[in-house]
Amino acid sequence: MTRAAIYVRVSTARQAERDLSIPDQIAQCRTWCQRQGVEVVQIFSEPGASALDEDRPVFQEMIHTAKRTDKPFDLVVVHSLSRFSRDSLHSELYIRELRKAGVELVSITQDVGQDPTGEMFRKLLHIFDEHQSRETAKHVHRAMLENARQGFWNGSRPPYGYGVEIAERRGSKDKKVLVVNDAEARVVRMIFDMAAGVEGRPMGVKAIATWLNERGILRRGRRFSTGGVHAILTASTYHGQHYFNRTDSRNDRPRPPSEWIPLAVPAIIEEKTFNAAQALLQSRAPKRVAPRLVNTPTLLAGVARCGNCGAALIQNTGKGGQYRYYCCSRRLKEGPFGCKGLRMPMDKLDGIVIGEVTKRILHPDHLKELLENYLHTAIEREDRNRDRLRQMRLDHKEAEAGIARLLELVEKGLMDAEDASMRERLVNLRFRRDELAEQISDLTRRLAMAEPVITPAKIEKLALLLRDKLHHGQPDLRQAYARLLLSEVCVNDREIRISGSKAVLARSAAAGVAKTTPAVLSFVREWCTRQDSNLWPPPSGSRGTTRRKARRSHVPQSTSSHRCRLTGGNFARHCKGSVQLTGHRLPPDSIVPRLC
């Protein structure tokens, strides 16, 4: 007796929910099989799958079952050829595969036969079905675009953090809009806060997902993944600007921005917060920053450098990991021909750097002396600040113009919207624009105030807080605060040079450390010389070097550094045999950093 498998399908989940079409298809196919004396051995039901898509799971299961060696059925029975497929090419390919397995396709409403004439009619029917499907999709898509232009949500599942509600009713159609889901929105804000490091070191997407999963916080019944967290952090929807029609739903290919439809939605976070998160994600991207610098617990990772060749000092272990050292990366990679090398116990260098920074910078009296220009020369700086304000406003306009130029290139089709370099430039320009806007606001407010923003009380509070965090904080927080204070620690066999930014300290004293997010260092480097109260290069007779610094994304290039007059303009130099510090001779085995 001939055996048959019935395949039924509807295109949308809504059709399947009505539970009318699929049962009717099954009933008609069973009736036909009974009349023809065919035994039904299996039914393949596929709700909500487009016939233009060949990757339908139930359809593929049917093809795989038909090709089995035990040949479970002889016929595949469908209500009409369009239920099998609406793609003429795919239809013929799969019909050929079925025939190779000895299985024939039968349509109970379109019996065209298997002779050459019937084959021709079947192919014509497939072509008409494909054309009809694409025409229907075109008109539906046009209607969805217009619905989005009118500010309505198009019925798909809302993004995490939002729900939908009916705004109005037009005929039999419900017009829906996005509304904030308070419970989910709290999680979204929490994710952005963790990414920005509001309460500590900025966290990456994996660390955020782990933190949420450990506390049982789910994403609509499922655990958070790195992809899900990254999708939240990069979605412009959360600052109030959603875009419809960004990708082709059939193949997930991005559409040009000229075809995007902007849709205003309730904002969960501020745009400034979103842009800051994008900049941090860019700075942590593996293409720009080695993952070992982002994830390592090493205190001076990315900051410590070899004073002989300028290469980074990286962790090296001995005795199976029992001892840890800072070693020149070039020496480890290239051997003694690349650099004569440097190897220093990690705890020793960490202790020296933190101890000297604490003693020479983070003592309230020393910090006050370091920032005395910010405390006692407000009038003298006012003219310079006004010049700076004018320059920052020009830079702000230039950043806005750069953003406009990039968007114009994209709109004209001269640049691909999904181009990685273009997106990176756009993120950097937006972050630069927001950073300048914040600096302009801060400087304008300071110029308008009658009393200085930095006070002795704030300096003392900052010094005590940083001392406590550097000495007693968790490893990741110690590293974040060390990176906040230090731009570079350059080590050779004669001296340790420590450099950082006074502007960061000044901003921290004025606004508080909680508002000064420890940023992640990038690989962007520049050669520069500094000119301030300690002349550089030093006068004749002094040892001079060209120094290279690691630039932080949040520190302006024009900012002077810690090396500017820490203790009355004097500095300590660790030389062979003795250390000279303002006339006091220290034992030869002492290692005192030269604070730069």
User: Known catalytic residues?
Assistant: 11
Please tell me the distance from the alpha carbon of residue 370 to that of residue 561, in angstroms, as a whole number.
Answer: 10
Strand ranges of the sheet holding 313-318, from the earlier edge strand across to the other edge? 313-318, 323-328, 343-345
- The DSSP output letter for 219 is B
DSSP conformation letters of 69-124: TT---SEEEESSHHHH-S-HHHHHHHHHHHHHTT-EEEESS----SSHHHHHHHHH
Task: Kindly state the tokens that stand for 588.
Answer: 């030869």
The conformational region for residue 569 under phi > 0 = left, psi -120 to 50 = alpha, else beta, is left
Do residues 498 and 356 lie in contact, with contact meaning Cβ atoms separated by under 8 Å? yes
Please tell me the distance from the alpha carbon of residue 460 to that of residue 537, in angstroms, as a whole number.
Answer: 33
Task: Kindly state the tokens that stand for 301.
Answer: 């990772």
Three-state secondary structure string covering 442-455: HHHHHHHCCCCCCC
Do residues 325 and 318 lie in contact, with contact meaning Cβ atoms separated by under 8 Å? yes
- Phi, psi of 266, rounded to the nearest 5 degrees: -60, 135
Residue of 484, 543, 527 lying closest to 509 (CA atoms)? 484
Please tell me the distance from the alpha carbon of residue 507 to that of residue 505, in angstroms, as a whole number.
Answer: 5
C-alpha Rg value of the chain to the nearest Å: 34
Other CB atoms within 10 A of residue 492 CB: 17
Please tell me the distance from the alpha carbon of residue 465 to that of residue 459, in angstroms, as a whole number.
Answer: 10
Residue of 233, 329, 226, 321 lying closest to 276 (CA atoms)? 233
**Longest pairwise C-alpha distance within the chain:** 112
Residue of 513, 502, 504 lying closest to 462 (CA atoms)? 513
Please tell me the distance from the alpha carbon of residue 353 to that of residue 489, in angstroms, as a whole number.
Answer: 8
Pairing between β-strand 486-491 and β-strand 304-306 as defined by DSSP bridges = parallel
DSSP conformation letters of 317-345: EETTTTEEEEEEHHHHHHGGGT----EEE
DSSP conformation letters of 233-259: HT-GGGGTEEEES-B-TTT-PBPPGGG
Residue of 530, 567, 565 lying closest to 545 (CA atoms)? 530
Do residues 51 and 86 lie in contact, with contact meaning Cβ atoms separated by under 8 Å? yes
Cis previous bond, 556, omega within 30:
no
Burial category of 491 from C-beta neighbours within 10 Å (exposed 0-12, middle 13-18, buried 19 and up)? buried
